[in-house]
Amino acid sequence: MSNYEKINPDLDKDHEQLIEKLQNIYIHLQQHFLVEENMFNKGLKKIPQNHSGGDTKELQTNIWNEHKKEHEELLNNFKKISRSLLEHINTTDSSHFHWTKD
């Protein structure tokens, strides 16, 4: 799994579960965003050329690119959360709970 300083079995187990849950959410978000992208592309083919939002090429480049940018920002936020958690474990927890090491 992830590299972090081991402190004691109880904290290590909790830390591992937290890290695993964050990783699972990240993976699920990636999969969900692929579902949305596939759905958007399929729907885009069904939009008539005279759609009120403009031609399909404009919709594809403008709307989807903005939507995809939000996906990327969300994924980056999860990466930041994961890095922050590891940093917290390796610095704060390890120094505040070093006395609990077995």
- pLDDT tens per residue, the chain (102 residues)? 568 889 999 999 999 999 999 999 999 999 999 999 999 888 878 877 766 666 666 767 788 899 999 999 999 999 999 999 999 999 999 999 988 886
What residues does each domain of the chain span?
A: 20-89
Q: Residue 75 in contact with residue 26, Cβ under 8 Å?
A: yes
The residue type of 88 is H
How far CA 77 is from CA of 21, 29, 52, 69, in Å, comes to: 15, 12, 34, 12
CB 94 within 8 A of CB 5: yes
